[in-house]
Amino acid sequence: MRFLSLGADDDIGASSHFLQLDNGTGIVLDAGADPSRDGPASVPDYDQIRRAFSERGGAGNPVDHALVTHAHHDHFGTLPLLVEEFPHAKVHMTPATHQLLEFLLPASARLQKRRQEEGSTEHDPLFSEDDLELQSSLYREQDLRAPFDTGGAQAADPNAEAEFFDAGHILGSAGVLLRFSEDGDERRVFYSSDTNTTAQTIIPGGDYPDEPVDVLVMETTGGADPEAEQTNRALEEERFCAALQRTMQRGGAALVPVFVMGRAQEVLALIDRFKRRGDLDEDVPVYTAGSMRAIADLYDKTRETTPRLNPTFRVFGVDQKKLPYGRDKLRRTLEGPAIHVVSSGMMFGQTLSNRLARDLVGNPDGGIFRVGYAVEDSPARRLTEAAQNGRAVTLHEEAGLQEIQADVERFRLSGHSDRQQLLNLAERLDPAKVVLVHGSDEAKDWMATHLRERLPGAEVLRPAQGEVIEA
């Protein structure tokens, strides 16, 4: 089997990988977009697939199947481009991920078009809503723990299958177990994608294969975060509650920047818990906006059919107010006490979280509370680092350098496993080879060093973008 990394190889960027089985079957794992880049620069290099395929004398269609593990932009955001490039590929995902993509992909197309029209990008949209309508028939739903065929149409031995396992990350998220034959032996490859071995507030911890695998393709998001492994989630939740209490008691507004998928719903569930037990006044308004509200509806509609800690919990059971349009109306919602749970988690560009943060950062009564991962040099990361070091911050060039008067804190409520949990997962799956992906160089360095200690018999590989490795 040959493995080729198509997306970013040195950070949390566009996640996409190509597997070419020895029998000729081609499988793409995820088709993400880099959230920190714009236009074509955000797209994995899908041309590499044809180059790698032709080097082995391949002809015809190099991609037989594409597997989308979950509905985060860095894992699905360029799926329409992959399908356009390889129209014969069958695209597989869980039913919940399919429902989310039916909403999120058209929303992405509209956003790209709007940004071009308003002049905030010089790039044409990567795809349109019309493109999506033409492609939707190619998407196939696969239930968790239900094997499905991934054999190649032109493969010498077409026997290959995949199976989705709950990843414990967000609604619909899955890891992928691939089973196929090479030289008469069955091989087992597990792709963790983004995974969480422990329970969150809504979503339980992940589910994994019971038997060892030959190759483990594993994320390394938490590899460079020593504090995460020392963090107790229950204590972090209580710290978050106390920070909200202090802000509300001052009569201020709290801004919680979130990823619209996953963190948003988990944070709302926590706020609901705090209100129910009397730690927050039930009359404190909670503002949400846009696609977050539609996704809450999908969370609720699938609560009986997807893994949940409490299937009776409804995200829309949490009292929410719709954030109003218009700059002046937005500013008035910051007069507090109030809680704003809005995207984006990294506070990029003209997102709601960035706009509100610019208005709130100089208010000593306010609080800006980060609850998820943020890439280096993102506005969210810059704000956290500036606050820790007593410096001013530039959240957006329009506002320039701003003094930080609001409380700024980070709470570790991640949907990812920490690095010790990842090591434990690798030990459990006992692979002969580990391929490290989806993380910074520092994260991969740490994971590689400690995997070699924990699994001395395993080969640990760190492929760069465009590097073909034999796995």
Reported as a single tens digit per residue, the pLDDT across 370-424 is: 998 888 889 999 999 999 999 999 999 999 999 999 999 999 998 899 999 999 9
* 138-149 mean pLDDT: 96
Per-residue confidence (pLDDT) for residue 361, from 0 to 100: 97
- What 187-190 contacts at long range (C-beta under 8 Å, 24+ apart), as own/partner pairs, is 187/1, 187/214, 187/215, 188/212, 188/213, 188/214, 188/215, 189/1, 189/19, 189/213, 189/214, 189/215, 189/216, 189/217, 189/471, 190/215, 190/216, 190/217, 190/429, 190/431
pLDDT of residue 57: 53
Residue with the bigger pLDDT between 153 and 386: it is 386
pLDDT in tens, 200-216: 999 999 999 999 999 99
- Report the largest interatomic distance among the alpha carbons of the chain, rounded to a whole angstrom: 70
- Ordered by where they begin, the domains of the chain are 2-225+417-470 (3.60.15.10), 233-410 (3.40.50.10890)
Radius of gyration for the alpha carbons in the chain, expressed in angstroms and rounded: 22
% of the chain surpassing 90 pLDDT:
74
Angle at Cα 40 formed by Cα 34 and Cα 44, nearest 5°?
A: 50
For residue 54 the two structure tokens come to: 């032709």
This model's pTM is above 0.85: yes
Read off the pLDDT of residues 420-451 as tens digits, 9 standing for 90 and up. 999 999 999 999 999 999 998 999 999 999 99
3-state DSSP call for residue 271? helix
- pLDDT of amino acid 154: 64
pLDDT single digits (tens) 2-40 = 999 998 666 677 899 999 998 889 999 999 999 878 899
pLDDT in tens, 229-288: 888 889 999 999 999 999 999 999 999 999 888 899 999 999 999 999 999 999 999 999
Q: Is the pLDDT of residue 59 over 60?
A: no
Q: State yes or no: cis peptide before 337, omega within 30 of 0.
A: yes
User: What mean pLDDT is reported for the chain?
Assistant: 92
Q: Name the amino acid, one letter, at 370.
A: R
